[in-house]
Structure 1
Amino acid sequence: MPALLALDLGTSSAKAALLDLEGRTLAGGSAEYPTRRTEGGGTEQDPAHWGRAARESIAQIGPSAHEAAALCLTGQMQDLVLEGAAGAVRPAVLYTDQRAAAEAAQLREDLARDGMDWDHLAGNVQDASSCAAMARRLARHEPAALVSAHGLTFGPAGHLAHRLGAGLWCDATTAATTGLLEARTRSWSPAVARAAGLEAALLPRLTGALGEVVGRTGDSARDLLGLPAGIPLVLAPGDAGAAALGITGPAPGQDHASLGTSGWIASIRPAAPGTPPHGASHRLALGPGTELHISAVLAAGAAAAWARRAYLADLDATAADALLEAREREHGRGPTGLLVLPSLGGERFPVRDDTLRGAVLGLDAATGPRDLYAATLEGVAHALSHALDPADAGQVLPVVGGGAASAPWRRILADVTGRPVLHADSTDATLRGAALAGAEALGLDHRIAPLAAQGGELTAPDPSAAAAHAALRPAHRRLYATVAGAMR
Structure 2
Amino acid sequence: MSASYILGLDVGTTSVKAVLLETESRRVAARQDLATTSDIADLNGIKAKEQDTVQILDTLNRCMGLLPRDKLQHVCRIGVSGQMHGVLFWNAERGGHWSRGNFSHLITWQDGRCSNSFLSSLPKPDSHLAVATGFGCATIFWYMKHRPEFLKDFTVAGTIQDYIVSMLCGLDRCLMTPQNAASWGFYNTTTSRWNVDILNGMGFPLHLLPQCVPSGELAGHTRSDWHGIPAGTPVGAALGDFQCAVYSCLSAKTDAVLNISTSAQLTFAMPADFKPPNSPQPDSSVAFFPYFGSLYLAVAAALNGGNALATFVEMLTGWMDELGVELQDQSIYEKMISCALKQESSNLVVRPTILGERHDPFTLGQVTNISASNFSLGHVTRALCRGILENLVSMMPAERLREAGVNRIVGSGSALARNEVLRQEVERAFAQPVIYGQNAESAVGVALVFCDRCKSTKGAASMVQGLV
Fold shared by both chains (TM-score > 0.5): yes
For residue 343 of structure 2, give the secondary structure of its aligned residue in structure 1. helix
TM-score (norm 2): 0.83
Q: Is the 8 A contact 1:213 1:442 kept in 2?
A: no
For residue 184 of structure 2, give the secondary structure of its aligned residue in structure 1. coil
1:142–1:196 CA distance, 2 compared to 1 (3 A): same
| Stretch of structure 1 that moved more, 263-272 or 361-370 | 263-272
Residue pairs, 1:6-17, within 5 angstroms? 6-17=8-19
Q: Is the 8 A contact 1:343 1:358 kept in 2?
A: yes
Q: Is the 8 A contact 2:285 2:395 kept in 1?
A: no
**1:340 is matched with which residue?**
350
**1:305 is matched with which residue?**
310
Q: Is the 8 A contact 1:236 1:437 kept in 2?
A: no
% identical aligned pairs? 20
1:303–1:88 CA distance, 2 compared to 1 (3 A): farther
Q: 1:233 Cα deviation (Å)?
A: 0.5
In the TM superposition, what whole-angstrom CA distance separates every residue of 1:126-182 from its partner, at most 9, and x where no partner exists? 2223322210111222222212211111x2210101122144111111111111201
Q: 1:265 Cα deviation (Å)?
A: 0.7
Partner Cα separation in structure 2 for residue 443 and residue 131 of structure 1:
34
Q: Is the 8 A contact 2:74 2:229 kept in 1?
A: no
Alignment counterpart, residue 130 of structure 1, candidates 122, 129, 135: 135
Q: Is the 8 A contact 2:337 2:381 kept in 1?
A: no
The amino acid that maps onto 1:299 is N
Q: Is the 8 A contact 1:243 1:429 kept in 2?
A: yes
- 1:322 to 2:330 alignment: no
For residue 104 of structure 1, give the secondary structure of its aligned residue in structure 2. helix
In the TM superposition, what whole-angstrom CA distance separates every residue of 1:451-477 from its partner, at most 9, and x where no partner exists? xx9xxxxxxxxxxxxxxxxxxxxxxxx
Q: Is the 8 A contact 2:249 2:440 kept in 1?
A: no
Partner Cα separation in structure 2 for residue 90 and residue 415 of structure 1:
44
1:41–1:178 CA distance, 2 compared to 1 (3 A): same
Partner Cα separation in structure 2 for residue 421 and residue 309 of structure 1:
30
Aligned residue pair count: 421
Partner Cα separation in structure 1 for residue 151 and residue 131 of structure 2:
22
Residue pairs, 1:33-432, within 5 angstroms? 33=36, 34-38=38-42, 39-63=45-69, 64-85=71-92, 86-101=100-115, 102-107=117-122, 111=123, 117-118=124-125, 121-153=126-158, 155-164=159-168, 165-166=170-171, 167-194=173-200, 197-209=203-215, 211-219=216-224, 222=226, 227-249=229-251, 252-269=253-270, 270=272, 271-278=274-281, 279-310=284-315, 314=329, 315-328=331-344, 334=345, 336-348=346-358, 351-353=359-361, 355-366=362-373, 367-391=375-399, 392=401, 395-405=407-417, 406-424=419-437, 426-432=438-444
Q: 1:106 Cα deviation (Å)?
A: 1.4
The amino acid that maps onto 1:340 is V
Q: Is the 8 A contact 1:72 1:434 kept in 2?
A: yes
For residue 162 of structure 1, give the secondary structure of its aligned residue in structure 2. helix
Partner Cα separation in structure 2 for residue 227 and residue 175 of structure 1:
29
**2:325 is matched with which residue?**
none
The amino acid that maps onto 2:264 is G
Partner Cα separation in structure 1 for residue 269 and residue 154 of structure 2:
35
Partner Cα separation in structure 1 for residue 142 and residue 302 of structure 2:
25
1:59–1:403 CA distance, 2 compared to 1 (3 A): same
Q: Is the 8 A contact 1:237 1:286 kept in 2?
A: no
1:122–1:276 CA distance, 2 compared to 1 (3 A): closer
In the TM superposition, what whole-angstrom CA distance separates every residue of 1:273-300 from its partner, at most 9, and x where no partner exists? 4444441322122222201222111121
Q: Is the 8 A contact 1:321 1:408 kept in 2?
A: yes
For residue 69 of structure 1, give the secondary structure of its aligned residue in structure 2. strand
User: What stretches of structure 2 of length at least 5 have no aligned partner?
Assistant: 93-99, 321-328, 458-462
For residue 304 of structure 1, give the secondary structure of its aligned residue in structure 2. helix
The amino acid that maps onto 1:163 is M
For residue 325 of structure 1, give the secondary structure of its aligned residue in structure 2. helix
Q: 1:318 Cα deviation (Å)?
A: 3.7
The amino acid that maps onto 1:24 is R
Alignment counterpart, residue 448 of structure 2, candidates 420, 429, 436: 436
The amino acid that maps onto 1:262 is S
TM-score (norm 1): 0.80
Q: 1:363 Cα deviation (Å)?
A: 0.8
Partner Cα separation in structure 2 for residue 303 and residue 149 of structure 1:
35
Q: 1:68 Cα deviation (Å)?
A: 0.7
Q: Is the 8 A contact 2:182 2:290 kept in 1?
A: yes
- Structure with a larger share of its residues in helix: 1
Partner Cα separation in structure 1 for residue 237 and residue 253 of structure 2:
21
In the TM superposition, what whole-angstrom CA distance separates every residue of 1:285-320 from its partner, at most 9, and x where no partner exists? 222220122211112111112223435864444433
Alignment counterpart, residue 30 of structure 2, candidates 19, 27, 30: 27
User: What stretches of structure 1 of length at least 5 have no aligned partner?
Assistant: 112-116, 329-333, 454-488
Partner Cα separation in structure 2 for residue 236 and residue 436 of structure 1:
14
Partner Cα separation in structure 2 for residue 236 and residue 261 of structure 1:
20
1:292–1:188 CA distance, 2 compared to 1 (3 A): same
Q: Is the 8 A contact 2:222 2:235 kept in 1?
A: yes
Partner Cα separation in structure 2 for residue 237 and residue 174 of structure 1:
7
